[in-house]
Amino acid sequence: MFFSVLIGSGAQVLSMSVVTMVFAVLGFLSPANQGTILTAVLVLYVWMGVLAGYSSTRIYQYLGGERMTRNTLFTAFFFPGTVFGIAFFLNFFLWYYKSSGAFPFLTMLAIFALWIFISIPLTFVGSRFALRREPIKVPVTVNQIPRQIPAQPWYMNSVLSIFMGGILPFGAVFIELFFIMSSIWLHRYYYLFGFLFIVFLILVITCAEISIVMVYFQLVAEDWRWWWRAYLTSGASALYMFGYAIFYYVNSLDIDGFVPSLLYFGYCAIICCFFFVLTGALGFYSSHWFVRKIYSAIRQD
């Protein structure tokens, strides 16, 4: 169930990111007004809850799950609730120090209302749409008895391959990440939305390729447990992103005090969580397409 919840959250973040960047490239979002971009991201994320429910339920059915309502509830509450909880906790410190960057209480209440009264019902609507469709069927007959997995080579160690695979997606966005961090923390304007969209396309291709390659090596080694490997291989790039946030904090920022540092790392953790579910969903969907293709070809022969 936890896996399908992460897939649904990743689909929600992915669709929100694509629509936001398309609007920015077309000129509907002004880089001089970061509040407009933040509002657009929030509203689109709430409305994309329907895709979270749909994707999560489809994958949960595919993996043989039976507790559909429970899965939808976890999809609606787990990831958004975690992000909202962290943001609300950090906002307490801003209120305490009477910072101008703090979200007013009514604004936080409005965000909470959007989540409860719009995002969660839309998640259930998406789940209902998924239940009306035929479940995803595997292209071959699956053995009910799990096959014994032989001893794996050292380079196919799960932790090692996941961390090695996460380097490439992070490398695809490494340069652009500097300008984004400067825009957020040094109050510089970011105008290169067209270039950002190209970098995002490169990120999608890189996540797909590295996940497919690692899954292929795993299947060749007769290890059939590929779904978590596919998700975490590309999702591990979020750890490198957080490591870069630490590097940026040490070398580019002049922040003194516990609370400002806590706010910085707290907001960076939120960004990395979004990046984790986004890249993880990309890795799983591309690997799932690849596995279905190769096993469909085997059946046709």
Residue 238 near residue 162 (C-beta atoms within 8 A): no
Helical (H) or strand (E) element with 24: helix 2-25
| Cβ contacts of 263-269, under 8 Å, gap ≥ 24 | 263/90, 263/93, 263/94, 264/185, 266/86, 266/89, 266/90, 267/90, 268/242, 269/86, 269/242
φ, ψ for residue 47 (rounded to 5)?
-75, -25
DSSP-derived 3-state class of residue 1: coil
Prediction pTM value = 0.91
pLDDT in tens, the chain (301 residues): 789 999 999 999 999 999 998 888 887 776 656 677 888 888 999 999 999 999 999 999 988 888 899 999 999 999 999 999 998 898 888 887 777 677 788 888 898 999 999 999 999 999 999 998 888 887 777 777 777 777 777 777 888 888 888 999 999 888 888 888 888 887 776 667 788 889 999 999 999 999 999 999 888 888 888 889 899 999 999 999 999 999 999 988 888 778 888 889 999 999 999 999 999 999 999 999 999 888 887 755 4
Encoding tokens for residue 295? 């096993």
Encoding tokens for residue 29? 């979002």
What pLDDT sits at residue 104?
A: 82
277: nearest Cα among 38, 5, 88, 1:
5
Quote the CA–CA distance of 214 and 242 in Å, as a whole number: 23
Q: How many residues does the chain have?
A: 301
Residue keyed to tokens 């997995």: 149
